[in-house]
Structure 1
Amino acid sequence: LKEYYRRYPTAGYGGRFQQWAASDVKQPYGSFGNGSAMRVSPVGWYFNDLSTVLSEARHSAAVTHDHPEGIKGAQATAAAIFLARIGENKADIRDFIAERFGYCFNFTLDVIRPHYQFDVTCQGSVPQALQAFFEANDFEDAIRNAISIGGDSDTIACITGGIAEAFYGEVPARIAEQVWSRLDDPLAKVVRRFYLALAKG
């Protein structure tokens, strides 16, 4: 993480993460911010059983976000991606996440949209990101839902997008092309290597 920070120091990090990444400190800093959920998507894609996904999501988060809520947000996101990619339906994914992690989904985006506030905590943005996916009809609709509620919308859309890609099977080509065009060569190579590793199983 610190290496990527040094390569891309102006990429728009959260304040506490930036302080940690720029320092010599190696210990985590107890965050329950949504960065743990935003970066965990590869875990949900790479591992092939739920127990391992949850364990590796914990490890992914705990490097920086070792607060229980930070770990929970990462695990819930990775679990949703795993369940989506193995073919579970939305109702079953929602029920699992609610029962396992205690997230409540007794709201709709239309209800929260007028008053939703900027919230970088996992508990204040991961359920909303999941709901954006649950209410969507396709990948683009999921992203539009996530952005529409405002708040920390880029992170929320990142979380939603990882789940939606797993559920719908791909990122639509015209959207993927726009993303590829914005990646520099080193980052593009990382993504290509990851997709290749997935293809090889």
Structure 2
Amino acid sequence: MDLIRWFFKKNLDKLHNAKVLEFASHNGNNLSLFANYNYYCTGVELDQKNYENAIYNFKKIMKYNKFKFYNENMLDFATNFKNLNANVFLIPNVINYISKNDFKNMLSNVRTNHLYKYGGGGYESFLFLKARSIKDHRYGLGKSVGNGSFILENDEFSGEKNCLCTAYQEHELVEILQKYLNLYDFEVITSENINIKNKVYIKDSDIVIYGKIK
């Protein structure tokens, strides 16, 4: 819902000949919004099944034809792919599974390799990012590996046991995005929900940042 509100609030439905890039594109659900407005959609998804479902959904169900999905690690994609020049860059709910250093290196490669459009001439690109907050119930559940990251040895409820969990503070995330993507004209929202998982009430807390990058 955060993504849909942002999309129309910023008049992204009015862009012409636009491109969108999403890391962790899952089954293509987020990108389908953009496809409905004639964007060329590029999705990067590590999970083989999600990747196959995205292609099936776009090709067979929704009959879109301006898309390309990659079954690849987003870190490798950011390193190896060049000159995509997307107008919109989406990073939803995925950087919590990588270290902060990997995140910074990824952003640096995204910019160096022109995966989003920038460089004067009135160009402006848009960013949507959703990340895990230190207020989330998972923060601190397990073995610390430094710099705000934990191996979730003690998480019995959310299906992420033994996964890496990296959480951020709002100002920290903004500073990283400003440094590596030249984030500006942005908004920061904290999204908190109480969910029931395995009959246990747990608190999910996310940071949502949307703005422009140059």
TM-score by length of 2: 0.32
Highest relative contact order (Cα 8 Å, sep 6+), 1 or 2?
1
User: Would you tell me which structure has more strand in proportion to its own residues?
Assistant: 2
User: Would you tell me which structure has more helix in proportion to its own residues?
Assistant: 1
TM-score by length of 1: 0.34
Larger CA Rg, structure 1 vs 2: 2
